[in-house]
Amino acid sequence: MICIPGSDEEYFQWSDENLEGFIVNSDKAFSDRDLPMLHTVACGHVNDRNWHGYTTRATFKLCSISKQELEAWIKQTDARGLKVCKSCTP
């Protein structure tokens, strides 16, 4: 099941409860050429507790314990194609 958190608090709660999960970082305008990007939950690019603004008017996160589910969602929804983080290599 894919979760799309509506706040940073909800996002961090999901992350804390799903340590083996995956996160897709994306933008609502579907215009950033570097997105959407797949990460592991533990990746510092999407899980830095000292930074806020993971869920904003311009950005969103897709969260799931299934990498395949996220890949399928992006394939159906976003023509840019899914990129993979080179730091966490999910």
- DSSP label at residue 63: E
Residue 23 has pLDDT above 90, yes or no: yes
Residue 31 has pLDDT above 90, yes or no: yes
Between CA 21 and CA 29 the distance in angstroms is 25
pLDDT band at 50 (very low <50, low <70, confident <90, very high): confident
For the residues of 11-45, what is the DSSP string, one character each? HHHHHHH-TT-EEEEEETTS--TT-SEEEETT-TT
Residue 11 · residue 63 · CB < 8 Å: yes
pTM of the predicted model, to two decimals?
A: 0.92
